[in-house]
Structure 1
Amino acid sequence: MTSKNILLIGAPVDSGKARQGCLMGPDAYRTARIAGALGDLGHTVTDLGNVAADANDIAPRDGLQNLSQTIGWTTALSRAATDAMAQGLPIFLGGDHSLSLGSVHGVAAHAAAKGQPQFVLWLDAHSDFHTCETTTSGNLHGTPLAYLTGRNGFDGFPPVPHPIPEQNVCIIGLRSVDGPERAMLEASEIRRHDMRDIDENGIAKPLGAFLDVVAQAGGALHVSLDVDFLDPSVAPAVGTTVPGGATVREAHLVMEMLNDSGLMTSLDLVELNPMLDERGRTAQLMVDLAASALGRTVFDRPTPRIL
């Protein structure tokens, strides 16, 4: 395994939805020893601390939650992501999924500067494909993929000079998509796999096919892992629980395949709400998954001793 320079970036974003608690996510990951887990694998790990949202004078807009604050997070995280990509592999410790408005914006700018196509793997129960004009909840954590693929309807947000081509996006784990999003998805070129597809065909087949495309294109791969990709029976610490999610073993297989491919260049860990956790088990599982994505194998996992 090749040692990597990993940069931990705290993104205590809590503006993308009404329910509060995700701002404590970065500290929960640190408490679950993410730096130590990755350092134990031989990587160099630097914790850059927490990003703060930029100030702006964006006026509130009816029907949208915390618009100004979310735009402030987007500009700050985009800048942090672009800077970090020049140094190594950033892991964004969230924070709700609106943080990806900024993290992916920034990594895509870095890829464009290198002349490299950017790809995105979205591991999520939701498609997050609303715009500010189509969302009925006003929760901006449901908008990143629409924004990042260059859709209209994001007045006040930074321009997207390097939109991700829709065919460069793959969503795995879908099981909660509303009517307008479904219509937009079906009209798009986004690769999408719901849990029925996973049940019938397994998780390795669609992921392997997407990774082959990324490899053939010589692309950079951003992975965005939402806690609700996992079944809530194993990962309860999320405000958007949807039954029927990925098992622990399916999730580890995804991460192990990512490590085998060597393609992942950046990672989001999002939607962890420690207020909803049970003795930190969701935070620990997410840390274990990050470790699998960066080289931990079954032989590296300590077996609990029964005394």
Structure 2
Amino acid sequence: MNQKKVALIGVPMDLGADRRGVDMGPSAMRYAGVMARLTRLGFHVDDVGDLVVPRPSGVAGQDLNLKHLPEVVEVNRNLAATVSEKVREGYIPLVLGGDHSIAIGTIAGVAQHYRNLGVLWFDAHGDLNTAETSPSGNIHGMPLAVSLGFGHDDLVRIGGFAPKVRPENVVIIGARDLDPGERELIKRIGLRVFTMHEIDRLGMSRVMEEALAIVTNGTDGVHLSLDLDAVDPHDAPGVGTPVVGGLTYRESHLAMEMLAEAGVLVSAEVVEVNPILDVENRTAKVAVALIGSAFGEKLL
């Protein structure tokens, strides 16, 4: 990370999750001091504010297999353009969500400049569904599939090209709740997934060593997609789809610290903080602390 400029981009999106509250995530992380934390680390921080998220015209849109599709597409197109502009200006874009559907736009914007992008995807879930496999129709369960080129064309073609990333350059860490269609796709494309079983057996240090070796092999930068439900609900209770048995607070910090030491981070999004479901903004505080570690914060 030889750049010392970070662009904060808020995306108060809840339409991909179809559940209220997560739209307040950017405000919660700002309140938890994300800008001050990055400034203390020596970064020039440009907070560009929040993108406008339109209110849907119907309850969930016309297609219940792709809820709120037009609105999700519009926001992600705008996000991709904003992210691309900030990368062009020499900033590391840090996108504050919002639900995980915003990863579609972040990656689309970054991939216009890093055509061999590696991706570290921290999540309890795979986010590899399509309209045909999704049990809910919620697009926040589809962004990784979309970035890999699978899904509705309006989503896949955001930014004007597809796929944005290749499966050999992507690693999922912390998975413990995968749908049948996601498991099939993982096996079919050979995607590397470190489940909680492997993290328990190998330890986070070895998992990160192997994951970093994968996402830096032939790539020109690494994108971090951090869903707070990767962390155990004991430490991060304010998420929309909590799954017990997740990463501990220290495992999460070690992962971010090792990512920072690698010096390969070019962009990031932090998503699924839901203050309505939180306790005294605890999850937003965890998110900001992990952002600090990912951007190089050390004790000594």
Asked if 2 retains the 8 angstrom alpha-carbon contact of 1:222 and 1:267, the reply is yes
Look up the equivalent residue of 1:140 and give its one-letter code: I
Looking at structure 2, the residues matched to 56 and 273 of structure 1 have their Cα atoms a distance apart, in angstroms, of 20
Look up the equivalent residue of 2:22 and give its one-letter code: C
Look up the equivalent residue of 1:271 and give its one-letter code: E
Q: Which digits, 9 at most, give the CA deviation of each residue in 1:27-82, with x for residues without a partner?
A: 1111011000110111111101011248999x732333211111111111111111
> Aligned residue pairs: how many?
294
RMSD of aligned Cα (Å): 2.0
Where does residue 141 of structure 1 map in the other structure?
140
Where does residue 69 of structure 2 map in the other structure?
67
How does the TM-score come out when normalised to structure 1? 0.91
Asked if 2 retains the 8 angstrom alpha-carbon contact of 1:8 and 1:92, the reply is yes
Deviation at 1:157, TM superposition (A): 2.8
Instruction: Indicate whether 1:96 and 2:123 are aligned.
Output: no
Asked if 1 retains the 8 angstrom alpha-carbon contact of 2:11 and 2:53, the reply is no
Where does residue 7 of structure 1 map in the other structure?
7
Looking at structure 2, the residues matched to 82 and 257 of structure 1 have their Cα atoms a distance apart, in angstroms, of 26
With over 3 angstroms needed to count, the CA separation of the structure-2 counterparts of 1:52 and 1:287, relative to structure 1, is same
- Pick which of 103-112 and 214-223 moved more: 214-223
Deviation at 1:3, TM superposition (A): 6.0
Asked if 1 retains the 8 angstrom alpha-carbon contact of 2:9 and 2:93, the reply is yes
1:37 partner SS: helix
Trace 1:1-307 onto structure 2 (pairs within 5 A).
4-53=4-53, 60-86=62-88, 87-112=90-115, 117-151=116-150, 153-157=151-155, 159=157, 161-163=161-163, 164-299=165-300
Look up the equivalent residue of 1:70 and give its one-letter code: V
Deviation at 1:205, TM superposition (A): 1.5
Q: Which digits, 9 at most, give the CA deviation of each residue in 1:212-255, with x for residues without a partner?
A: 24444242111000010000000000010000000010000001
Asked if 1 retains the 8 angstrom alpha-carbon contact of 2:238 and 2:279, the reply is yes
Q: Which digits, 9 at most, give the CA deviation of each residue in 1:87-131, with x for residues without a partner?
A: 21010000000000111111111213xxxx111110000000011
Asked if 1 retains the 8 angstrom alpha-carbon contact of 2:227 and 2:271, the reply is yes
Looking at structure 2, the residues matched to 55 and 168 of structure 1 have their Cα atoms a distance apart, in angstroms, of 35
Where does residue 302 of structure 1 map in the other structure?
none
1:120 partner SS: strand
How does the TM-score come out when normalised to structure 2? 0.93
Asked if 1 retains the 8 angstrom alpha-carbon contact of 2:32 and 2:284, the reply is yes
Asked if 1 retains the 8 angstrom alpha-carbon contact of 2:170 and 2:215, the reply is no
Look up the equivalent residue of 1:148 and give its one-letter code: S
Structure 1 residues not aligned, in runs of 5+: 300-307
Where does residue 304 of structure 1 map in the other structure?
none
Look up the equivalent residue of 1:101 and give its one-letter code: I
Asked if 2 retains the 8 angstrom alpha-carbon contact of 1:3 and 1:42, the reply is no
Q: Which digits, 9 at most, give the CA deviation of each residue in 1:181-210, with x for residues without a partner?
A: 111111122111100000000112122123
Look up the equivalent residue of 1:74 and give its one-letter code: N
- Pick which of 29-38 and 203-212 moved more: 203-212
